[in-house]
Amino acid sequence: MCSEHRIPRLVSGDDPCSGRLDVMFGDKWYTMCDNHWDIRDANVECRQIQSGIAMSVRSGADLGEIIEPIRSDIFECKGDETTLWACPFSSGTRQCNYKTGVDVICSETHGPRLVGGKNRCSGIVEVPHAGQWWTLCDAHFSLADASVICYQLHCGAIIGTPGVAQFGEGSSPIWKKSYRCRGNESRIADCPFSLSDEVRCSFGNISGVVCSDESWSLRLTNGESRCDGRVEVYHNGRWARVQDHVWSINDSNVVCTELGCGSSISAYNTSMYGERDRPVWVKEVQCEGTELQLRNCSTFTLNRFFNDSSGVGVRCSDHLQVRLSDGGDICAGRLEIYYNGTWGTGCDDSWDTVDSNVVCGPLGCGTALENKRPPYCTRGSGPIWLDEVRCSGNEFYLWECLSSKQIFPRSGKMYTTSSVDRAQRNAPEERTASM
């Protein structure tokens, strides 16, 4: 091993393709200073660690725990080199500290990227395949798909999906790949997808995304839907937790309002949604309950990220679930729907096997066999949340179907299924799918 041996890595990010840049010189790791580091250098680094292309290079980032000493060496890459050691290199003399590090975000080997927008957080959606970039058709492109893209690119929350109206027709070939994201995946490559030649798509029918790219955005994670989970804020290029020892219903109401999730049913300041996998950024929130955004409340905001022992969580009224009960098995029984804090049922008017298929899929129960009531399945109780359901068979979730009693909002919101093991949350005889 020679002294000029140089290997990069990204650490303290959400995945191996993002985070603080460290480089091994010889047999030791060093944190890199942001001395002349640019997108061309980052492209080589991303290529070397097999993480696609560089999406952003952030200098002067507060990167937390670092490896001393910090090196200020200068790489002068053209951008097409395969490794950092192939780039011209010189030693730097700049004095660096933990606030002068380099933070890099790579596209990963599966993309995506946004092109044609005003910045890297807006534009036409493109994904890599077979050595080139492809534009996605928007025939089945959803807000949940867009939300995952914004999260993967570290661009905050989804604002809209304007398509060609704002970004033009694009120049890459169109790939008829249809993603079926739930909204809580960390990468678009983790979403189920299908390829179909039946989807007709032209350059006037392509997907586009606008992300918030804000210094502060809000989301709920580790729950059973986008309206249930641990409260996290997006600040300075990363997601972090909210910590509050007296988290109240007023505070959680503001979270639900900001996310368009109705009102708060429950406020948690326990470890219900997991705790230590993200640092804390905001502490001790005090809301009146009438604010439209959490940032408008009286808060004590930390100047640096710290790990702490507790976080806060919220369950909002628009949190939705479905399950099958009293059927003798988790994949059979009476359809029950959780809405507005209450379990209810659906009326069987017009219900058929096509509708049942849309229930079985998200529950992980395959396809529907029959609509017969199992002999030991009792009558339901609670409100009748759905009536005259009419699914076409192409829907992925029940809320996408038409219904004469439509409790599921059909615009501006998305409901997702958590990847957390359902066995930890539900009774042994039940399985639920969240929306």
pLDDT tens per residue, range 406-428:
554 433 332 322 222 222 223 33
pTM (two decimals): 0.53
Angstrom distances, CA of residue 33 to CA of 36, 61, 81, 92, 304: 9, 10, 21, 9, 19
Place 197 in a pLDDT band, splitting at 50, 70 and 90.
Answer: low
Of 1.10.10.10, 3.20.80.10, 3.10.250.10, 3.90.550.10, the CATH number of 321-434 is 3.10.250.10
What confidence score (pLDDT) does residue 251 get? 93
Architecture of the domain made up of 113-211: Roll (3.10)
Q: For the domain 6-106, what is the CATH code?
A: 3.10.250.10
Higher pLDDT, 400 or 204: 400
Architecture of the domain made up of 217-316: Roll (3.10)
Task: State mean pLDDT over 394-402.
Answer: 76
What confidence score (pLDDT) does residue 422 get? 27
Task: State mean pLDDT over 330-347.
Answer: 84
Contact residues for 406 (Cβ-Cβ < 8 A; gap 6+): none
Task: State mean pLDDT over 154-169.
Answer: 75
Please, where in the chain does CATH 3.10.250.10 lie?
Answer: 6-106, 113-211, 217-316, 321-434
Q: What is the overall mean pLDDT for the chain?
A: 76
Cβ 317 vs Cβ 264: under 8 Å: yes
Percent of residues, the chain, with pLDDT higher than 70 = 76
- Is the alpha carbon torsion for 118, 122, 123, 126 positive or negative? positive
Torsion of CA 221, 411, 107, 173, to 10 degrees: 160
What confidence score (pLDDT) does residue 234 get? 79
